[in-house]
Chains A and B, each alone.
Chain A
Amino acid sequence: MATFNMKILCTTLSKLSVNRVTIRRNAYYKPPKYRPPHWFMPKERVMSEDMLTQENRDFIEEIKQDKLNSQLALESPLAHVDQHTVQWTPFTRRVGLIARKIGNYPLWSKDGKKFQTTLLQVVDNHVIKYIPPEEFNPMRTKKICWKEKRTLGCLLVGSETVDPSTVTKDYCGIFNSVGMLPKRHLFRFMVSPNSALPTGTPLFATHFRVGDYVDVRAKTIDRGFQGVMKRWGFSGMPASHGVTKTHRRPGNIGAGGEKARVWPGTKMPGHMGNRWRILRGVKILRINTKHNILWMLGVGIPGETGAVCYLYDTVLPLKKLKIAPPFPTHPASNDLPLEYYDESIHPFEEQTIMFDEV
């Protein structure tokens, strides 16, 4: 009898153990199969004191400088290869850019209208690696598998070279395997196989032209836990007329009867911002070739000043590229004009706008 009781106790206790975490899984919810792509490695490293002598420190610094210099001395692989024989068609997808949002200021058009613009700086972009469509095996998060996705290759682009000792060994390995120094930001662009680029190709702001439309993907400003008035724009309730303690609350969230539950998707308080969002069809008004700055029309680009955003040719059917852009990318050259202006924009160094009498 005692042994039987003991057995029951053991089984109940084993069920209570911390190791067995029950994963919620039912008809409505299935956790995603999380398998990150092979180039996605943890980047942040715990910094610790290495207890090195000053000589060793100097030696490491020297090696770093040597590596950086050799990296800077690298020529663009496109310089010697003559231009691709493959022509651009409206169905090819080109590589994009990684840029940083640096602020807003107005530009004026030639008919005297003011346009607010957002400035994006393209810093030190290099092609890291090309994975052809056959080898590219992305993570499956949905049941639907688009067949045409298999026709696109994956191009890794990095931006902003960092000190290799500040990132993890695994992350460095991605770059070491192709002979580059690690970059702070690494992003994947899906490209057509004929627009693939060799490793180490620098990308500039002139990859896009003035007047083109691009899509911008970035993280929105993190606003933390917010109520419904700020998060969803509810109007709240009156300040007076006998209203007590419900000035900024949502009010009713549903009906009774059969529907006596909270419907999925009800707008409620919660975390606002810090989501990936894409702003499609943003026009480029001006390009500076020296500092690689793009002036984009509008102030709707997600993120605060200093946020990183990803640019690529727009997918909107009416705003798609019609004339062949620099393909596969614009080669590095020193004899470009300093600034490109859209034809509607008034450059500041030109004469005051005058209107002709009709």
Chain B
Amino acid sequence: MALVIRKPTFDILSAAKWMIRKDCRALSSLVEKTEETEKRPVGRRARFQNPALEYRHIFPEFLPDPNPKWRNSLREKMERADMLKRRSQIDIPEFYVGSVLAVTISDPHAQGKTNRFVGICIERKGCGLRAEFTLRNVVDHQGVEIRYDLYDPTIQSIQVLRLEKRLDDKLFYLRDALPEYSTFPFDMDPEILPEGTPVPVNTVQVKLKPRPWLERWERQELKGVANIEEHLKEKDRIRRELRKTPWEKYDLMKEYRKTIPVEDQTEIWGEVHNQLNQLRLSRKKMFKKRPISTPKPQLG
């Protein structure tokens, strides 16, 4: 929808251009979900045909911050080159918010100088070399969260134990949910998806603990929470209605400011496509060669 402003010259009536416009619309995050449902039966390999459609979900950190005050083409280019250099050293896999990861870092404070942590990714943020993600787990009945820089050179390996998505973009509500929803054993076996399947969406709905909560979850229109209504009072429902902003989905300018234009995206993906593809192929080779063994948990 945001593309209507950007590309006013498109003739909507002509059928051929309608197709192009539909393609471009997929790049703005507004209509993403409908496109996603259409594509799922086609399979994962077919989606590789347009790299921009695929890569902006797999490597979101390659897109720069859309704030025009901070943009500079040369700096972005240098940043991408550095990211690719780091990616040639360590295999940074495809993962999403909701995937279960195991991260091994070199830690000068730990006894064996390495530290391994397993947890569910509850947040991914930042662009370029600043990209970071947060893992959450419950260890000894105590919720633990660790934030990692994605391009930190002390990270030895990032392993995806379970590749899946959740219904929400951020899973901060797991902090207020029952502990079994964020408990993952450290000796968990990696679940390998067959080649060509789309990334599954886990539709589990978590149960929240009774109030007090850390945030007002009822106002955030969360899909992954089951029992939010039973903890609410009449006062909260009235407040929620007052705080709703249903007009924001029609705010095209807001949407435009949050996204990178299609022309820029095609340029960026054209620049990094070859190297990313090579890295993907080499990873596949390594994956086939690798002997099947489970990593041992390191306790202290």
Residues of A that sit less than 8 Å from B by CB:
102-103, 105-106, 108, 111-112, 114, 119, 121, 288, 291, 293, 304-306, 346-357
Identify the interface centre among A103, A119, A288, A306: most chain B CB within 10 Å of its CB. A103
| B291 within 8 Å of A (CB atoms) | no
Q: Quick check: is B262 within 8 A (CB to CB) of the other chain?
A: no
B68-76, B134-142, B208-216: which lies at the A interface?
Answer: B68-76
Q: A112-B106, A348-B153 are in contact. Are A305 and B71 (CB under 8 A)?
A: yes
B85 touches A356 (CB 8 A): no
Residues in B neighbouring A352, C-beta threshold 8 A? 89-90, 106, 153-156
Q: Which residue of A lies closest to B79 (CB)?
A: A105
B170 at the interface (CB under 8 A from A): no
Q: Which residues of B contact A346 (CB under 8 A)?
A: 153
Please state if B72 and A306 are interface contacts (CB–CB under 8 Å): yes
Q: Which residues of B contact A108 (CB under 8 A)?
A: 152-154
**Among B79, B130, B154, contact of A112 (Cβ-Cβ < 8 Å):** B154
Is B78 engaged at the interface, CB distance under 8 Å to the other chain?
A: yes
Which residues of chain B have C-beta atoms less than 8 A from A304's C-beta? 69
What 1/0 mask marks residues of chain B from 16 to 46 whose CB sits below 8 Å from any chain A CB? 0000000000000000000000000000000
Q: A304-B69, A349-B88, A355-B107 are in contact. Are A102 and B154 (CB under 8 A)?
A: no
Within 8 A of A (CB), among B136-167: 149, 151-156
16 new A-B pairs (CB below 8 Å) besides A105-B128, A121-B74, A347-B85? A102-B74, A106-B149, A108-B153, A112-B108, A112-B153, A114-B149, A293-B74, A304-B69, A305-B72, A348-B86, A348-B151, A349-B89, A350-B89, A352-B90, A354-B156, A357-B113
Residue pair A354, B78 in contact (C-beta under 8 Å): no
B interface residues, tally (CB under 8 Å): 31
**A103:B70 contact, CB within 8 angstroms:** yes
A111 to B71 CA separation, bound complex (whole angstroms):
30
Interface residue SS majority, chain A: loop
The yes or no answer to B82 lying at the interface (CB within 8 A) is yes
Q: Is the CB of A305 within 8 A of B70?
A: yes
| Cβ-closest 9 pairs across A and B | A103-B75, A348-B85, A349-B85, A112-B154, A102-B72, A355-B113, A102-B75, A355-B108, A348-B86
Please measure, in the bound complex, the distance between the C-alpha atom of A111 and the C-alpha atom of B154, giving whole angstroms.
9
The distance in angstroms between the C-alpha atoms of A304 and B78, with both chains bound, is 19
Instruction: State in angstroms the CA–CA spacing of A291 and B81 once bound together.
Output: 13
CB proximity of A220 to chain B, nearest CB, Å:
15
Q: How far is the CA of A348 from the CA of B84 in the complex (A)?
A: 9
- Chain B residues at the A interface, C-beta cutoff of 8 Å: 69-72, 74-76, 78-79, 82-83, 85-86, 88-90, 106-108, 112-113, 128-130, 149, 151-156
B126 to chain A minimum Cβ distance, whole angstroms, is 10
In angstroms, how far is the closest chain B Cβ from the Cβ of A294?
A: 12
**How long is the Cα–Cα vector from A121 to B74 in the complex, in angstroms?**
9
Measured in the bound complex, the distance between the Cα atoms of B152 and A114 in whole Å is: 8
CB < 8 Å neighbour of B129 from A105, A112, A356:
A105
Interface centre among A288, A305, A346, A350 (most CB of B within 10 A): A305
**Which of A111, A305, A357 is B69 in contact with, Cβ under 8 Å?**
A305
Asked if residues A357 and B75 are in contact (CB atoms below 8 Å), the reply is no
Interchain nearest-CB distance for A100 vs B (Å): 9
Residue pairs across A and B with Cβ atoms less than 8 A apart, 18 shown, are A102-B75, A103-B72, A103-B76, A105-B79, A106-B130, A108-B152, A111-B108, A288-B78, A305-B71, A346-B153, A348-B89, A350-B89, A351-B89, A352-B153, A352-B155, A353-B154, A354-B113, A355-B113
List of A residues within 8 angstroms of B154 by Cβ:
108, 112, 352-353
The minimal Cβ–Cβ distance linking B115 to chain A, given in whole angstroms, is 11
Tell me, rounded to whole Å, the shortest Cβ–Cβ distance linking B245 to chain A.
Answer: 25
Find chain A residues with CB under 8 A from B88 CB. Answer: 349
CA distance A356 to B129 in the complex (A): 26
Question: Shortest distance in angstroms between B131's beta carbon and chain A's nearest beta carbon?
Answer: 10
> With a CB–CB cut-off of 8 A, which chain A residues contact B107?
355
Q: Which residue of A lies closest to B109 (CB)?
A: A355
List of A residues within 8 angstroms of B76 by Cβ: 103
State whether A119 touches B78 (Cβ < 8 A).
yes
Contacts of A293 in B (CB 8 A): 74, 78
* B79 partner residues in chain A, CB cutoff 8 A: 105
Shortest C-beta distance, A356 to chain B (Å), equals 7
Residues of B near A112 (CB, < 8 A) are 106, 108, 152-154
Q: How far, in angstroms, from A157 to B24 measured CA to CA in the complex?
A: 47
**Cα-based distance from A114 to B153 in the complex (angstroms):** 10
Residues of A within 8 A of B155 (CB): 352
- Please determine whether A353 and B153 come into contact, CB atoms closer than 8 angstroms: yes
Bound Cα distance from A262 to B128, whole angstroms: 50
Give the shortest distance, in Å, between A244 (CB) and chain B (any CB).
Answer: 26
- Shortest Cβ gap from A255 to chain B (Å): 43
Q: Kindly list chain B residues whose C-beta atoms are within 8 Å of the C-beta of A347.
A: 85
